[in-house]
Amino acid sequence: MAQRHQAERAAQAAATAAAVRAVWGEVEARDLEASWLARAPVAAGLIRAGQLTAAQGSAPWLELEAGPAEGLVRAEAAVAATGDLTGPLLYPLLIAFNRLRRGLSGALSILSGAAFLEMVTRSLVADAGRIADMAGMIARPRVVTYVRVVHLPACARCIILAAREYSLSEGFLRHPRCDCTMAPRRPGDSWDLPSPQSLYEEMTTAQRLRSFGRAGAAAIADGADPTQVVNARRGMTTVTRYGRQVQATREGTTRRGLYGARRAKFAKVPGAKYARAGAPRLMPEEIYRLADGDREHAVRLLRRNGYIV
């Protein structure tokens, strides 16, 4: 039910974004500001309607998923909690003007504004629904945690959080256009949601390349932990080793990190809070470049660099 709820929420966000984008598509390049300001109230009404529908879908789902609530969660309050629409509706206009000043054509400038407007609409609809979901869970005392629901296609950051459990006091991590949702868990619930590895196995080759990149997808296929592969990108850097530049990462290189815990030598960098492993932790891209088609050597390097756990 949680996966179906997530799919319905994503469809609602997409439908609302398409309707709002169609309104933006009616603006006139010759008089961009006036034509959009005349249509913005229509776009605002569509966004609020989409948000309200998303928020209203929370109560029936939670009733089936976790039983009756001890209080009423107002969908309108969840919508209001997403904030004022003035900024989100003004920003596409500012983006279009910025592109025009940089010399882009009127058509391309309008497309740039449309892309932002679609992104922010999807995010606002999903946020209204998630706020209603969270409030509805809190209104059910037996619900003590929630589990992240990820539906493909998804970005790498969301995939590695799939099926992770959080307390109700923890905020929901999301990015623009994120359509992940949450499933309530009560003591005794034994169901499971797809893990990052199982989601990877469901993905098509094109989806894997888009989410993880060529080297990242190859590393996971060769046994690397998706979380290690994705998190490594947070600390990407270039270092000089062996007389040349290599792609490395600082992620996981302290004594507490998976890679750092395996190293015997550490170095304290001036100004740094923690000592880090003396040997660089290579990125998957560098590992496959060094392996040069030798899969066994690549697997050895993946294990040595803390990707295969």
157 lies in some domain: no
Which segment of 43-57, 241-255, 288-302 scores lowest on mean pLDDT? 241-255
Q: Of 109, 139, 169, which residue sits at a domain end? A: 139
Same structural domain for residues 11 and 121? yes
Same structural domain for residues 125 and 223? no
Q: Of 119, 139, 159, which residue sits at a domain end? A: 139
Same structural domain for residues 134 and 30? yes
Question: Can you give the pLDDT at residue 295?
Answer: 95
Which segment of 71-75, 174-178, 256-260 scores lowest on mean pLDDT? 256-260
With contact defined as beta carbons under 8 Å apart, do 89 and 120 qualify? Answer: no
28 phi/psi in degrees, rounded to 5: -105, 125
Q: 143 versus 259: which is more confidently predicted?
A: 143
- Among residues 119, 5, 120, the alpha carbon closest in space to that of 55 is found at 5
270 lies in some domain: yes
Entry field: residues in the chain: 309
Same structural domain for residues 10 and 133? yes
Tokens coding 34: 């006036």
Q: 250 versus 61: which is more confidently predicted?
A: 61
pLDDT tens digits, 69-126: 998 899 999 999 999 999 999 999 999 999 999 999 999 999 999 999 999 999 999 9
229 lies in some domain: yes
Which segment of 108-112, 126-130, 148-152, 278-282 scores lowest on mean pLDDT? 278-282
83 lies in some domain: yes
224 lies in some domain: yes
Q: Of 80, 108, 139, which residue sits at a domain end? A: 139
3-state secondary structure of 224: coil
Output the CA angle 43-47-49, nearest 5 degrees.
Answer: 115
- Among residues 249, 211, 205, 213, the alpha carbon closest in space to that of 231 is found at 249
Same structural domain for residues 134 and 6? yes
Question: Can you give the pLDDT at residue 220?
Answer: 96
Same structural domain for residues 128 and 243? no
65 lies in some domain: yes
Same structural domain for residues 126 and 226? no
97 lies in some domain: yes
Question: Can you give the pLDDT at residue 266?
Answer: 61
What confidence category does residue 290 fall into, taking pLDDT thresholds of 50, 70 and 90?
Answer: very high
Question: Can you give the pLDDT at residue 270?
Answer: 62
Same structural domain for residues 93 and 220? no
Which residue range forms the structural domain that includes residue 67? 2-139
Q: 151 versus 101: which is more confidently predicted?
A: 101
pLDDT tens digits, 1-46: 888 999 999 999 999 999 999 999 999 988 999 999 999 999 999 9
pLDDT tens digits, 179-217: 899 999 998 888 888 899 999 999 999 999 999 999 999
Q: What's the structural domain count of the chain?
A: 2
Question: Can you give the pLDDT at residue 272?
Answer: 60
pLDDT tens digits, 261-277: 776 566 666 666 666 66
CB-based contacts of 88: which residues, under 8 Å, 6+ apart? 47, 117, 120, 121, 124
With contact defined as beta carbons under 8 Å apart, do 52 and 130 qualify? Answer: no
258 lies in some domain: yes
State how beta strands 181-185 and 236-241 pair.
unpaired
- Verify cis geometry, omega within 30 degrees of 0, for the bond prior to 196: no
Same structural domain for residues 132 and 224? no
Same structural domain for residues 26 and 123? yes
